[in-house]
Amino acid sequence: MSTTVMHEGPKLQFGRGRWIDNWNPENEAQWQSKGKGIARRNLAWSMFAEFLGFAMLAVWGMVVPRLLDVGFQYTVNQMFWLIAMPGLFGAFMRFAYTFAPPRFGGRNWTIASALLLLIPATGLAWAVTNPDTPYWLMLTIATTAGLGAGNFTSSMVNISFFYPEREKGFALGLNAAGGNLGTAWVQFTIPIVIITGAGLALDRAGLMFIPLIILAAMGAYFFMNNLSSAQSDSKALLMSTADKNTWIMSFLYIGTFGSFIGYANSFATLMRLEFPEVTTNYVFLGALIGATIRPLGGWMSDRYGGARMTLVCFAVMIFGCGGVIWVLFQDQPSFPLFLTMFLILFAAAGFGNGTTYRMIPAIFRAQVTDRQTGKVDPTGLVRARRLAGGCIGIAGAIGSLGAFIIPRVFGTFGIKGGFIVFIVAYIVMIITLWFFYERRGSALSFARV
């Protein structure tokens, strides 16, 4: 009779500043004894900071449609610039924040990135109290909300170091969904907190963040850890730029995640412009549906293939856009139908977030898989995983440009014209997806990526 003995290997060492040495989540003994509890604790507080970051990115989408009610005189185009600029700045922050956790420590950077959110929070609280605030200054303050987008990337990078490969997908999926819910939370909360007996108090949209930001920073300070073993793979990021699939997936991710965050940030303003008699209390439903359906997209992709499910996603989004256009062209547009079509758009975009994220590792794995035998080259698999990681970083940053692109399309072409542009874009994405990944005879069609 034999027994299996799990060897923990080098013991975990806990140093000053909550640094941990000898972290190895792949070691089963270490993982079961202490690692799992440490990882879950770090995930919880990292999710909270990321949640606030996503909420900050979306806050101007809720504030802008109420600016006219408190005396600001902005054109529709100016309003969409205020909504768009956090997305543009946020895309750059996602690149910059990728390298921060390994360099400074995940705990340390979570503290710093949380406290940085005080800049857009206090700036918003101050700027909206005075209708004479110069537009250029208002635009600058709105832009700083893009700091919140960086929190998502640094959180995902940090948590990836804490979990073993077999549990990393679930942990990162949970982390991403938790962050996305920040958008729904801020859209649900702001219409409630800004209402006072005397009218509107838009400054509360910024002030409500301050105690939560301090709580996130304190939670990270007392309960999170830094890992000495965490290392950034900047070379993989550079290597992935040479692979055409990185750019194809970045383009497609604009259509899924970019649509989700762009529509979420624009939804309240679109409602006020088209249905001024309707309150914005329903806005949060779109982001809530999009965030909660994301795991289903990943699960369905595992079952039927990510490319195939992404095709379905874009087809449904075309239907949703066409439905919105049809509603708006009616003599008396129906708000319930408008809301229904928009919720279909959010559901499809959230579903597509899961399908495209699943496609990326599958694509790079397929490149090192023998087409005839289905065997995977072990050496090539290591490189494929690195390339997939680099691709995810680049695609995530480029995809988040949707938060800038979609409001600017509405500001330039109007609401109906904007949705026509999006239909054309989704058709191009369907053709691209089919040509490279689903077309019979294409290089990766055999792998059902």
pLDDT in tens, the chain (449 residues): 444 445 556 788 888 889 999 999 888 999 998 999 999 999 999 999 999 999 999 999 999 999 999 999 999 999 999 999 999 999 999 888 888 888 899 999 999 999 999 999 999 999 999 999 999 999 999 999 999 999 988 888 888 889 887 787 778 778 888 888 899 999 999 999 998 767 789 999 999 999 999 999 999 999 999 999 888 777 888 888 999 999 999 999 999 999 999 999 999 999 989 998 888 788 999 999 998 898 888 888 888 889 999 999 999 999 999 999 999 999 899 999 999 999 999 999 999 988 998 888 889 888 888 777 778 777 788 888 888 888 888 888 899 999 999 999 999 999 999 999 999 999 999 999 999 999 888 888 777 88
The verdict on 325 and 275 lying in the same domain is yes
Residue 339 lies in a domain: yes
Contact in structure between 281 and 191 (CB atoms under 8 Å): yes
> What are 210's two structure tokens?
């301050």
Q: Which of 231, 247, 282 is the last residue of a domain?
A: 231
The verdict on 67 and 121 lying in the same domain is yes
Distance (Å, whole) CA 73 – CA 410: 19
The verdict on 165 and 240 lying in the same domain is no
Q: What is the pLDDT of residue 336?
A: 94
The verdict on 323 and 424 lying in the same domain is yes
Q: What is the pLDDT of residue 254?
A: 96
Q: What is the pLDDT of residue 7?
A: 56
**Helix ranges, 277-371 (H):** 284-304, 306-328, 335-366
- pTM here is 0.88
The verdict on 44 and 143 lying in the same domain is yes
Count the residues in the chain: 449
Other beta carbons less than 10 A from residue 196's beta carbon: 9
Q: What is the pLDDT of residue 8?
A: 55
Nearest in space to 400 (alpha carbons), one of 189, 173, 209, 151: 151
Q: What is the pLDDT of residue 416?
A: 94
The verdict on 196 and 206 lying in the same domain is yes
Whichever domain contains 292, its CATH number is: 1.20.1250.20
The verdict on 218 and 267 lying in the same domain is no
Residue 155 lies in a domain: yes
Q: Which of 231, 264, 299 is the last residue of a domain?
A: 231
In the chain, how many domains are there? 2
Residue 163 lies in a domain: yes
Exposure of 331 by Cβ count < 10 A (0-12 exposed, 13-18 middle, 19+ buried)?
exposed
Contact in structure between 409 and 422 (CB atoms under 8 Å): yes
Exposure of 393 by Cβ count < 10 A (0-12 exposed, 13-18 middle, 19+ buried)?
buried
Residue 11 lies in a domain: no
The verdict on 326 and 347 lying in the same domain is yes
Residue 428 lies in a domain: yes
Give the single-character DSSP code of 278.
S
Q: Which of 192, 209, 231 is the last residue of a domain?
A: 231
> What are 374's two structure tokens?
């289905």
Residue 274 lies in a domain: yes
Buried/exposed 121-131: b ≥16 CB within 10 Å, e otherwise: bbbbbebbeee
The verdict on 224 and 248 lying in the same domain is no
The verdict on 200 and 241 lying in the same domain is no
The verdict on 302 and 205 lying in the same domain is no
Give the single-character DSSP code of 442.
S
Residue with tokens 């610039």: 81
Q: What is the pLDDT of residue 296?
A: 87
- Residue span of the structural domain in which 281 resides: 233-441
The verdict on 262 and 333 lying in the same domain is yes
Q: What is the pLDDT of residue 2?
A: 40
> What are 20's two structure tokens?
């941990």
